[in-house]
Amino acid sequence: MDALIIAAGYGSRLAGISRSKPLTPVAGIPLLELGVRQAAAAGVRRVVVVTGHRADEVEAFLTGLTARTGVTIEAERVADWSTPNGHSVMAGAARIPGDYLLMMADHIFSAEILARLARAGAPDRGVTLAIDRRVTSPLIDPDDATWVRTARDGRITAIGKSLTGYDAVDCGAFLATPELAAAIAEAIAAGRPGSLSDGMQRLAEAGRAQTLDVGAAWWMDVDDARAHAQAETEAPRWLPEVYARA
């Protein structure tokens, strides 16, 4: 299976720690490397990384990462990294035939989440989103989270940062089919800005967006200095296999 990692954004809230958000080290390992290594542990053998902000630095890092991990890594650079993240998804997905794991570069996952997600595909869905129903967890930043409302069968009915009446939070990992990029393009054509959530909402309205509950599994969104400090302590404990190999 292939994976697509979105690593194009600026990451202003981590700028005091690192000039490049995807290259921000967590206990000595850059976020982007953690993502590639965890994807590999889930069976991924090829990764497309969408670059943008400080793209030269990120792409230079990828060369060495390929040698260290044995994973084939390809870069797809977006011309305007300030556009909503759905544009990055469309750019990267154009390089991938079929289904793929979709990950945000600033999210870290325990291996079991990605492994379960990679097996979650089914004909009745265009995308499967990893969700966490522990919406009051101290690991979640309520000011930055993308919230999810689900039906009884787990299908997404609504998704967005300003959503009310939610029952889960978006973990930042997806099993995507080509329907996702197409839905983002359709949302843009309909006048939406082109965020990933725009495409997800479109698939939700069509009954094609399903969820995978991560249960008690560990994950983190490393989006600001507070979360980074927390990740420095927690990541080596929850990802011992990654830190042992790196």
Confidence tier at 143 by pLDDT (50, 70, 90): confident
* Cα separations in angstroms, 178 against 50, 171, 196, 226: 17, 20, 13, 36
> In this predicted structure, what is the pLDDT of residue 139?
84
Report the Cα 151 to chain-centroid distance in Å. 23
Residue 128 token pair? 């499967």
Mean pLDDT of 139-156: 93
Q: Per DSSP, what are the bridge partners of residue 25? A: 30
Three-class DSSP category at 59: helix
Check: pTM over 0.85? Answer yes or no. Answer: yes
- pLDDT for 231 beyond 90: yes
* pLDDT band at residue 181 using 50, 70 and 90 as cut-offs: very high
Q: Looking at the predicted structure, is the pLDDT value of residue 159 above 90?
A: yes
Each residue's pLDDT tens digit, 73-125: 999 999 899 999 999 999 999 999 999 999 999 999 998 999 999 999 999 99
Mean of all residue pLDDT scores within the chain: 95
Q: So what's the pLDDT on residue 61?
A: 96
Q: Given a cut of 90, is residue 141 above it in pLDDT?
A: no
The residues with which 148 forms a beta bridge, in sequence order, are 159, 168
Mean pLDDT over 22-40 rounds to 96
d(C-alpha 108, C-alpha 128), whole Å: 18
Count of structural domains, the chain: 1
- What confidence category does residue 14 fall into, taking pLDDT thresholds of 50, 70 and 90? confident
Neighbours of 165 (CB within 10 A): 8
Picking from 228, 234, 187, 231, the residue whose alpha carbon sits closest to that of residue 209 is: 187
CATH classification at residue 231: 3.90.550.10
Q: What is each CA distance from 22 to 59, 61, 76, 101, 227, in whole angstroms? A: 11, 10, 15, 17, 14
DSSP string across 200-214: HHHHHHTT-EEEEE-
Taking residues 28-33, report their average pLDDT.
Answer: 96
Which pLDDT score is estimated for 241?
87
Return d(Cα 20, Cα 29) in angstroms, integer: 13
Structural domain boundaries, residue 197: 2-245
Share of the chain above pLDDT 70, in %: 100
